[in-house]
Amino acid sequence: MPLFSVLDLAPVPEGFTPSDALRNTLDLAQHAEAWGYNRYWLAEHHNMVGIASAATSVVIAHVAGGTKTMRIGAGGIMLPNHSPLVIAEQFGTLDALFPGRIDLGVGRAPGTDQRTLRALRRDPTSADTFPQDVLELQALLGPVQADQVIQAVPGAGSNVPIWILGSSLFGAQLAAMLGLPYAFASHFAPGALMQALQVYRERFQPSAQLDRPYAMVGVNVIAADTDEEARHLFTSAQQSFTNLFRGARGKLQPPIDDIESYWSPHEKAQAMNMLSCSFVGSARTVQEGLEGFIAQTGADEVMVAAAIYDHSKRLRSYEILSEVHKGMKKAA
């Protein structure tokens, strides 16, 4: 039975502030730790009023400082936005503060639009050097070599585990070549999921970090006491994805009674294609869906996102899922 973990985009609900979102993040992390989730990841996005985790390493420190045992990390850091040295220093510092609990997932997308990328003072072609940047990052976090002139302090010798994130075959190939764990973003880009997992597993080369393939898959889970309530809560995510196509990014909207009146048939098709790896319903409904998905993917770990407007209902969703997971483990 795969491990279950939490992906938190630190959503800012309509009518609330980033301060509210970050308080909710820590509260959810503390509950998730008590409920037995394996790790808690935060993601880098910029210039998005509905996401409060742009300074990802700072938020990781906030969460790690308020928890005790759960692994905390980035899912992920968009490496083209940064120099590998800066990221090695940041995550080396996090590891020095919270030894053995920090993960570093890296992706090659900018996590934003082209104008914001320029505001970050990065070359728009910097994603082209992503493989070389990962190797540089590995070297900076690894043992210091005799002739090494530049060191990450803290960071050198920490061997903070690096993950490759992706939604295409590129990341799968790179993770396999470098012998690193691989996390696929099927919670919003499921199209190449099965092919990417196949490529990763078939081409995997053992490394000092990992001796066999380890694949994590992202899903959305919106769980509630009834299927009807869960479907109602899910309309917040459905609105968000519809708004992406409209170029109207904003804060997380409250659920609505009639999603069909909100989107056009074309928008519905686009949004639900992106949300196809979503499991929405009561405990029984969610369990049935996840069991089929896990059997299909052979995932080693499931990373769960939940864009739910009401924080108490978001907590309840993860609590229900933790109960589902315990039942699945007993039955396995």
How confident is the model over 13-27, as pLDDT tens digits?
999 999 999 999 999
Q: How confident is the model at residue 118 (pLDDT cuts 50, 70, 90)?
A: confident
Residue 332's pLDDT is 74
Confidence check: pLDDT of 222 > 90: yes
Query: Which residue type, as a one-letter code, is found at position 122?
Result: R
Instruction: Tell me how far apart the alpha carbons of residues 142 and 91 are, in angstroms, rounded to a whole number.
Output: 12
Q: Is 201 exposed, middle or buried (0-12, 13-18, 19+ CB in 10 A)?
A: middle
Residue 249's pLDDT is 86
How confident is the model over 62-104, as pLDDT tens digits?
999 999 999 999 999 999 999 999 999 999 999 999 999 999 9
- β-bridge partners, 184: 166, 217
Confidence check: pLDDT of 109 > 90: no
Q: How confident is the model at residue 116 (pLDDT cuts 50, 70, 90)?
A: confident
Confidence check: pLDDT of 117 > 90: no
CATH number of 1-160: 3.20.20.30
Instruction: Tell me how far apart the alpha carbons of residues 8 and 74 are, in angstroms, rounded to a whole number.
Output: 10
| The two three-digit tokens of residue 144, written as one number | 């210091």
Half-sphere exposure of 282 (CA within 13 A, CB side): 5
Confidence check: pLDDT of 196 > 70: yes
Query: Percentage of the chain with pLDDT > 70?
Result: 98
**Three-point CA angle 89, 92, 93, nearest 5°:** 85
Q: Where are the domains of the chain?
A: 1-160, 214-331
Confidence check: pLDDT of 111 > 70: no
Which among 200, 202, 162 has a CA at the least distance from the CA of 184?
200
Q: How far is CA 189 from the centre of its chain?
A: 12
Higher model confidence: residue 203 or residue 122? 203
* Count of all residues that appear for the chain in the document: 332
Mean pLDDT over residues 235-251, rounded?
94
Confidence check: pLDDT of 221 > 60: yes
Instruction: Tell me how far apart the alpha carbons of residues 325 and 28 are, in angstroms, rounded to a whole number.
Output: 17
Mean pLDDT over residues 30-56, rounded?
96
Contact assessment for residue 72 and residue 66, using Cβ atoms and an 8 Å cutoff: no
Q: How confident is the model at residue 110 (pLDDT cuts 50, 70, 90)?
A: low
Query: Percentage of the chain with pLDDT > 90?
Result: 90
Residue 128's pLDDT is 83
